[in-house]
Structures are given as structure tokens and as C-alpha cells.
Amino acid sequence: MSSRTGLEAEAIKRLTDNVQPPVMRAILVQCLAGDIAPSVAISRLLAEGPLATVRAAIDDVAERAATISRVSDMLVHDRVDELTQVFVENVAALADVGDAANISSAAKAAREARSARSLESGDRGEPRISD
């Protein structure tokens, strides 16, 4: 009979099999084995690829856990749930940061465009006196 560790390893392999890219699969394996915390795994995943790729990898593992888990997989299934929960709780903050960066870039572009128009029209930013 397989040891608990052997059963966990089988479950982890089943849940992460064919997750792409391989570097993300390796990080997920470490997380599901309990070697790294879900928050650390998410940080490392985000360092390896865009948010959409990380989301797809986590969603893939979570879907497999929901559909092909066995009774002996419960510890690994709990780790998948924790990973998913941490990701979902923090993805809004990540999206907000991304939106802020996009807004900041758009605001900077608008300022640069106004500045260029001002220089072209000869306006040097001197106050105007209106009648």
C-alpha cells in the first residue's frame, strides 16, 4: 500500500499534469505539496507570467480538483482550495494596481500631448488675462 506521501504525490501529479508553462506547473507542485505557501506560490507565478496565464493555471488545477479528486486527495484538495481562495481575494487588488498603472500611463500621455500642443501653439504656460 502506498504511503500518505505517495498518495499526495499521485494526486498532485494528476491535478497539475499538462499545466503550462512548465515553470508554473513546478510552482503549483511545490504549493500543493505544502512546500511553499499559496501567497508565495502566487507571487512566483506572477513573476513568471501575466495575470491571465496565472489565473488559467490555477483555474485548471481547481477544476481538476473538483472533477477528478479522490477521497485520498483531501489534503491536496484543501491546498488547492486555499490557493484559489488566496488568489481570488488578492486578484482584485492586482487588477486595481494594473488599472492604476493604465490610468497613470494614460494621464501621462494626456499631459505630454497637452504640453506638445502648447509648445506648437507658442503658449509657454504664461497666464492669460481675459477681458
In-domain check, residue 68: yes
In-domain check, residue 119: no
In-domain check, residue 48: yes
pLDDT digits (tens, 9 = 90+) for 61-106: 999 999 887 777 788 989 999 999 999 988 766 665 544 444 445 5
Q: Which domain holds residue 86?
A: 4-90
Cα–Cα distance for residue pair 67/127, rounded to 1 Å: 68
C-alpha distances out from residue 96 to 50, 51, 93, 102, 104, Å: 15, 12, 5, 10, 12
Cα–Cα distance for residue pair 23/47, rounded to 1 Å: 11
In-domain check, residue 30: yes
pTM of the model: 0.67
Q: What is the residue whose three cell numbers read 486578484?
A: 91
In-domain check, residue 8: yes
Q: Confirm if 123 and 114 have CB atoms less than 8 A apart.
A: no
pLDDT digits (tens, 9 = 90+) for 112-125: 655 555 555 554 44
Q: State yes or no: cis peptide before 127, omega within 30 of 0.
A: no
In-domain check, residue 75: yes
Q: What is the pLDDT of residue 27?
A: 97
Q: What is the pLDDT of residue 114?
A: 55
Q: How many independent structural domains does the chain possess?
A: 1
Q: What is the pLDDT of residue 129?
A: 52
In-domain check, residue 109: no
Cα–Cα distance for residue pair 71/127, rounded to 1 Å: 75
Between 17 and 2, whose confidence is greater?
Answer: 17
In-domain check, residue 63: yes
